[in-house]
Amino acid sequence: MTAESEYAFFPEKKVTVIKAPFNGGQGKLGVEQAPEKLIENGLLDDIKEQGWRYEIEDPLMGDDWRAMRADASDVYGNCKRPHMVSEGAKKVYEASVRARENNTFPLTVGGDHAIGMATLLAFVKKYPDGGIIWVDAHADINTPTTTESGNLHGCPVAFAMGLDQEHWPADFDWIKQLGHFINPKQIAYIGLRDVDKGERKILRDLGITAFSMYHVDKYGINTVVQKAIKAINPSGKAPIHVSYDVDGIDPQYVAATGTPVRGGLSLREGLFIMEELAASHLLAGLDIVEVNPALGPTKTHTLDTVNTGLSISRCALGDTIL
Ligand SMILES: NC(=[NH2+])NCCC[C@H](N)C(=O)O
């Protein structure tokens, strides 16, 4: 069942699907296959079924990402592939800005979560007072100084917030030049259960709203979602962007992902977040990242993960059970 005009910011119900088959933010191959896999399994039909029109953007097409990934000199201190990540993020940022200018709903399909810096920055360029919900097992707020792994998919929130700029690789100068960052008050996390030491300090020092799995257990998912919406959107009228790492959901449902952490959201809790945001009329964009079709221990596991990504998208676009 679809409800008409439920989306305050998209009365025309048009989606821009931004394909982001990007793998430079982490070490495992396969995550770049996700956009095609989701499309193969029905992403575009689902969008139509929910009553939206769509166009497709493929901003990473035409570049030799394989060669960029193979460039062993692309390191900066502990950070792996800063040049590649910067290039990928810049292209996704430009595509997201175009979608925002056209007032279409950007549905960005990763790829790894490094591209989150791009979608967040494009969102706040258009909506400086918008709210962001980051669903994830991880906080992804490491800086080039705190990252232990050196994987930049663990750092996108820090880049979008402009944290620790003095230690950024020069490749990211373009972000400094945009003249806008996200504000720590405009983001809330749901689903955290694997937070690095340096990240915990940043979350505390900046007073960032974060609901871990402890809070989901303690309050229940409905209360957590309501609290998160309130924290990032005190006016009750601001648009809300969701950056959804599928590893927020438990590996029992989402095994085909690069950094699974047990003890996660149930499938229903994970979908409820999107159902509730769609019902709020305020949803204004979605990223689905970290589906890695190469990592399912069996084909069934991989298909479960892909289908979870598709369910997240359907719920975001208005699908309800009844
Ligand atoms: N998007 C993700 N899956 N991020 C995982 C990050 C894991 C770890 N905190 C790191 O910085 O390396």
Tell me whether residue 9 is in a domain.
Answer: no
Tell me whether residue 6 is in a domain.
Answer: no
Residues spanned by the domain of 177? 16-316
The enclosing domain of 157 has a CATH number of: 3.40.800.10
Q: Which atom of ligand 1 is nearest to the CA of 151?
A: 12
Tell me whether residue 95 is in a domain.
Answer: yes
Between 106 and 5, whose confidence is greater? 106
Beta bridge partners of 288: 109, 244
DSSP, residue by residue, 173-207: HHHHHH-----GGGEEEEEE----HHHHHHHHHTT
Tell me whether residue 94 is in a domain.
Answer: yes
> How many domains are there within the chain?
1
Percentage of the residues of the chain whose pLDDT score is greater than 90: 98
Q: Is the pLDDT of residue 262 over 80?
A: yes
Tell me whether residue 5 is in a domain.
Answer: no
Instruction: Show the CA angle centred on residue 25, arms to residues 295 and 283, nearest 5°.
Output: 90
Tell me whether residue 268 is in a domain.
Answer: yes
Tell me whether residue 41 is in a domain.
Answer: yes
CA 258 to ligand 1 center in whole angstroms: 9
Give the mutation target among 22, 112, 138, 203 for probing the ligand 1 site: most ligand atoms within 8 A of CB. Answer: 138
| Distance (Å, whole) CA 89 – CA 115 | 5
Residues 6+ positions from 71 with CB-CB distance below 8 Å: 81, 83, 84
Q: Is the pLDDT of residue 6 over 90?
A: no
Tell me whether residue 10 is in a domain.
Answer: no
**What ipTM describes this predicted complex?**
0.98
Q: Is the CB of 151 under 6 A from ligand 1?
A: yes
CA 279 to ligand 1 center in whole angstroms: 30
